[in-house]
């Protein structure tokens, strides 16, 4: 992970940036202005850690643009990608799960624009802004559900099924339609996919090469396009 100076502070942002995002969509314009005036806005290059696993949770974040990879470090020191977070979502919300430290590292998968607030504001956001708490806990529930699904997949499915499911989740969350398929809308490597599916790089490469020959996917350097989603659905259920 890149540890060089990671970000640039951005100029004053407009209220319209938050009006359509679930945690703030029920608020009045003046309330959103107050929230933005308390925020720090930064642009991060790709491959930069926004916060690190185990560090004191001093701030919470909103991803305005880009994609973030959530990474855990195992007891043996291996890096494991837990999930990807698309733009428009909160992250680093340790308070929502009763923690004082970040449970994972958040790494930008693309160039990203991020808002952040002091964690000292968390309680006032929850109590003062209608819908903030409800939507935050929906987000937590959704992520816990996704992680639980992955645990079940690891325990019960073959590698081919796990890889198919991982690609289907990614195109559902971040897919961009093209004339011949659905492309994952950020750079993703075969190593990333091996971490997501708890298998080896060799196995992922072998399966993707086989699927390419069958016309199911198209895989280039850090870019994957699903050409036949229905075929992946069949593979995921085999």
Going residue by residue through the chain (238 aa), what tens digit of pLDDT does each one get? 544 445 555 556 778 888 888 888 888 888 889 999 999 999 999 999 999 999 999 999 999 999 999 998 877 777 888 889 999 999 999 998 899 999 999 999 999 999 999 999 999 999 988 788 888 888 888 888 888 888 888 888 899 999 999 999 999 988 999 999 999 999 999 999 998 898 999 999 999 999 999 999 999 888 999 999 999 999 998 7
Q: What is the pLDDT of residues 28-57, one digit of tens each?
A: 888 889 999 999 999 999 999 999 999 999
**Cα(237)–Cα(213) distance, rounded to whole angstroms?**
21
**Residue 19: predicted pLDDT:** 86
How many Cβ atoms are within 10 Å of 9's Cβ, its own excluded? 8
User: Strand 79-86 relative to strand 89-91: parallel, antiparallel, unpaired?
Assistant: unpaired
The answer to whether residues 28 and 36 touch, using CB atoms and an 8 Å cutoff, is no
Start and end residues for every CATH 1.10.10.10 domain found in the chain: 158-237
User: Strand 105-108 relative to strand 49-51: parallel, antiparallel, unpaired?
Assistant: antiparallel
Q: What is the pLDDT of residues 150-166, one digit of tens each?
A: 888 888 889 999 999 99
**Residue 11: predicted pLDDT:** 59
**Residue 1: predicted pLDDT:** 52
The answer to whether residues 146 and 83 touch, using CB atoms and an 8 Å cutoff, is yes
Cα angle 75, 77, 83; round to 5:
85
**Residue 9: predicted pLDDT:** 54
**Which CATH code of 2.60.120.10, 3.40.50.11440, 2.40.50.140, 1.20.140.10 fits the domain covering 7-154?**
2.60.120.10
Start and end residues for every CATH 2.60.120.10 domain found in the chain: 7-154
**Residue 227: predicted pLDDT:** 96
**Cα(35)–Cα(1) distance, rounded to whole angstroms?**
31
**Residue 2: predicted pLDDT:** 46
**Cα(6)–Cα(3) distance, rounded to whole angstroms?**
7
Please give the CATH number for the structural domain made up of 158-237: 1.10.10.10
């Amino acid at each position: 992970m890149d540890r060089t100076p990671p970000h640039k502070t951005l100029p004053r942002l407009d209220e319209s940036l938050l009006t359509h995002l679930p945690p703030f969509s029920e608020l009045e314009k003046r309330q959103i202005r107050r929230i933005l005036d308390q925020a720090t806005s930064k642009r991060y290059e790709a491959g930069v850690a926004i916060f690190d696993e185990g560090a004191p949770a001093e701030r919470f974040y909103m991803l305005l643009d880009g994609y973030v990879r959530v990474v855990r470090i195992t007891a043996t020191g291996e890096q494991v990608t837990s999930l990807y977070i698309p733009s428009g979502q909160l992250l680093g919300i340790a308070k929502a799960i009763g923690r004082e430290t970040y449970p994972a590292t958040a790494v930008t998968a693309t160039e990203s624009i991020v808002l952040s607030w002091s964690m000292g504001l968390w309680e006032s956001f929850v109590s003062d802004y209608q819908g903030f708490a409800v939507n935050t806990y929906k987000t937590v529930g959704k992520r816990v559900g996704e992680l639980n699904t992955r645990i079940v997949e690891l325990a019960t499915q073959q590698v081919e099924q796990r890889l198919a499911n991982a690609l289907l989740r990614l195109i559902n969350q971040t897919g961009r339609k093209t004339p011949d398929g659905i492309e994952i809308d950020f750079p993703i490597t075969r190593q990333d996919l091996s971490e997501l599916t708890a298998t080896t790089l060799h196995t992922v490469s072998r399966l993707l090469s086989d699927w390419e020959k069958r016309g199911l996917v198209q895989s280039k350097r850090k870019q994957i396009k699903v050409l036949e989603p229905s075929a992946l659905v069949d593979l995921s259920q085999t």
